[in-house]
Amino acid sequence: MAVKQALEGIKVADFSWFAAGPICAEAMGTHGATVVRVESESHMDGLRGVAPFPTGKTGYNVSGWYNNYNANKLNVTLNLNTDKGKELALRLVEWADVFITNITPRVIERWGLNYDDLKQEREDIIAVYQPMQGADGPHRDFLGFGAVLGPITGINHLTGFPSRAPSGLGTNYPDYVINPMHTLTAIMAALHHRNKTGRGQRIELSQLESVVASLAPAVMDYMANGRVATRSGNRLPHAAPHGAFPCQTIKIATPFGEADEARWCVIACFSDEQWSSLKSAIGNPDWADDRFETLAGRREHEDELEEKLGEWTIGQFPEDVMTTLQAAGVPSAVVQNARDLLDSDEHIRERDYYVYLDHPEAGRTAYDGPGFRLSKTPAEYRTAGCMLGEHNEQVCKEILGLSDEEIADLMVEQVLY
């Protein structure tokens, strides 16, 4: 007998786009919920046009970004700028337990999808809104994505090197980690509350506030000490060494021929004991003298410390540095790239983290595995990323209860498209 999944029977109407909403909805689908993703050709998810694409393949259905965040979903295309499209959207809400959107408040208002509107269709609906800076306040209608959230939440100010401009994290980090998981936690709490009381509720997750919550140490430092934390590169005030060190390069094939690829490892010592173990592991070199025996001394001579450690690591592969130092009890790891994660990392491979799914247009590709594992009700990846309008007929017939004639009329009127 198949193991029942944790969210089996829960129905989700996913009106979100890009990442913060879709990742949350996908997590629910991966744990058994039925998720219907709503798009239209006039308002499709912008990620559909963003690389990477499989070699030689183009179109709205082959983006690796989009597909990775939209597995285990049904997809229906509704034109919400039409009265009939809005009517069908509300019928979908009547079916759903959870409604999710991260589209800007003014658009949600125009489409008639505010909480008061949804409650008229289903009194116990759990309606989730993820406005970038909240549903009220002077910046409620400001536009932006993760690339905007990084700077305004303070993340960019803390990332990079002190002599350079703020660099950020190189990806829209809030969209992919903090926002969707805070939202998922809120939904689980709301479902629990509904199970006990029979009442739904409105969830508002300000993406700004969700991210600011992760900057507590910097905020507390200013509040308590009047200090404004700033960029420090890879260094920390309470650890030394603490950084990325160059290792032996490798040859890789590129479209332009063979090339050298830089390789790196990270090393961190958070105590004098770890520093002593590091010294022993690298053969107690003469340069590692009494100046480095304390954290204060290592911090005072940190430039020289990093230079000397780099001279030791440069002749070795990062995997060997990691293995040697980890065996000595010193935190160390390879700075991995995508090839490492998919092909070389024996730990991830043995744990079967990546899931490979067959997509009708994109082919067989890797999908992120579950962010958490449940021993009794494990995640299940049933279908690859949904194609635009792939399940129009199924959703219209099985969920909305429309006839073939009604579906044909909606297509002619460009309500379904």
- B/e letters for 121-156, b = 16+ CB within 10 Å, e = fewer, are bbeebbbbbbbbbbeeeeeeeeebbbebbbebbbbb
User: What's the CA gap between 37 and 76, in Å, rounded?
Assistant: 6
User: What's the CA gap between 318 and 313, in Å, rounded?
Assistant: 8
Q: How far apart are the first and last CA of the chain?
A: 39
Are β-strands 98-101 and 126-129 bridged in parallel, bridged antiparallel, or unpaired? Answer: parallel
User: What's the CA gap between 28 and 412, in Å, rounded?
Assistant: 33
- Cα 29 from chain centroid (whole Å): 16
User: What's the CA gap between 263 and 272, in Å, rounded?
Assistant: 27
User: What's the CA gap between 318 and 333, in Å, rounded?
Assistant: 8
Whether 303 is a known active-site residue: answer: no
The answer to whether the bond into 174 is cis (omega within 30° of 0) is: no
Q: Are 335 and 263 in contact (CB under 8 A)?
A: yes
User: What's the CA gap between 168 and 150, in Å, rounded?
Assistant: 7
As given in the structure block, the two tokens for residue 395 are 């959703």
User: What's the CA gap between 287 and 81, in Å, rounded?
Assistant: 71
Phi-psi region for residue 47, left (φ > 0), alpha (ψ -120 to 50) or beta?
A: alpha
User: What's the CA gap between 306 and 268, in Å, rounded?
Assistant: 11
Are β-strands 363-367 and 355-359 bridged in parallel, bridged antiparallel, or unpaired? Answer: antiparallel
Amino acid at 145: F
Which residues lie below 8 Å from residue 213, measured CB to CB, with a gap of 6+?
178, 182
Q: Which of 175, 290, 358, 404 is catalytic?
A: 175
Catalytic residue ranges: 175
